[in-house]
Amino acid sequence: MTPPVTPSTRRFRVVDSPIGPLTLTWDDERDAVVGVHVHDQREREPDPAFGVPDDGACAGLDALAAELDEYFAGERERFSVPVDPPGTAFSRAVWAALAEVPYGSVTTYGALAAAVGKPRAAQAVGTANARNPVSLLVPCHRVVNAAGEPSGGGPGIARKRLLLALERRTP
């Protein structure tokens, strides 16, 4: 069972990125990243849940910021920082399956639903995907609709396209 999340155990840092400012959230109790949010992301947690501003002493946030820099530079395809996003059992199952979608590849909501054993739950998968609190690390941008187009919440369609182009090294 996932331990309860309390903002008092969290610290956050805002970093710049090619898709805009990101709020990175670390939970000391979980010893893991619990949030990577684009500043205008629709499904992000309320600001108090981010905890206290990092004083620059969090090695986990240092490692995450460095790995994100490498990702955006095209030098990293998988993240190694510990990730433990809070969510329901279903959401966590969706995110675990999503984490297996290879860099530069895409899957559909329907295929992801089938991967978690719920082939008729594509809409619920879409909701879990949009509420993914660790976007980029659990690559919600790699999920497309049945027509093969980026859609839905999370970081937004324009950012999803930018991230997919980055991963495919296309302009």
138-151 pLDDT, tens per residue?
999 999 998 889 88
CATH at 45: 3.30.160
Residue 164, amino acid: L
Give 29's contacts (C-beta < 8 A, 6+ positions apart): 3, 6, 9
H helices of the chain, in order, are: 59-72, 89-98, 109-115, 122-130, 157-168
95 and 66 within one domain: no
100-121 confidence digits (pLDDT tens):
999 999 999 999 999 999 999 9
Q: What is the token pair recorded at 131?
A: 């509420």
104 and 49 within one domain: no
110 and 54 within one domain: no
- Domains identified in the chain, total number: 2
Instruction: Based on the residue annotation, tell me whether 140 is a catalytic residue of this protein.
Output: yes
Report the run of H or E that residue 26 belongs to, with start and end.
Answer: strand 22-27
68 and 42 within one domain: yes
159 and 93 within one domain: yes
The boundaries of the domain holding residue 96 are 89-168
58 and 98 within one domain: no
Catalytic position from the list 19, 36, 112, 140? 140
Measured in whole angstroms, how far is the alpha carbon of residue 97 from the centre of its chain?
13
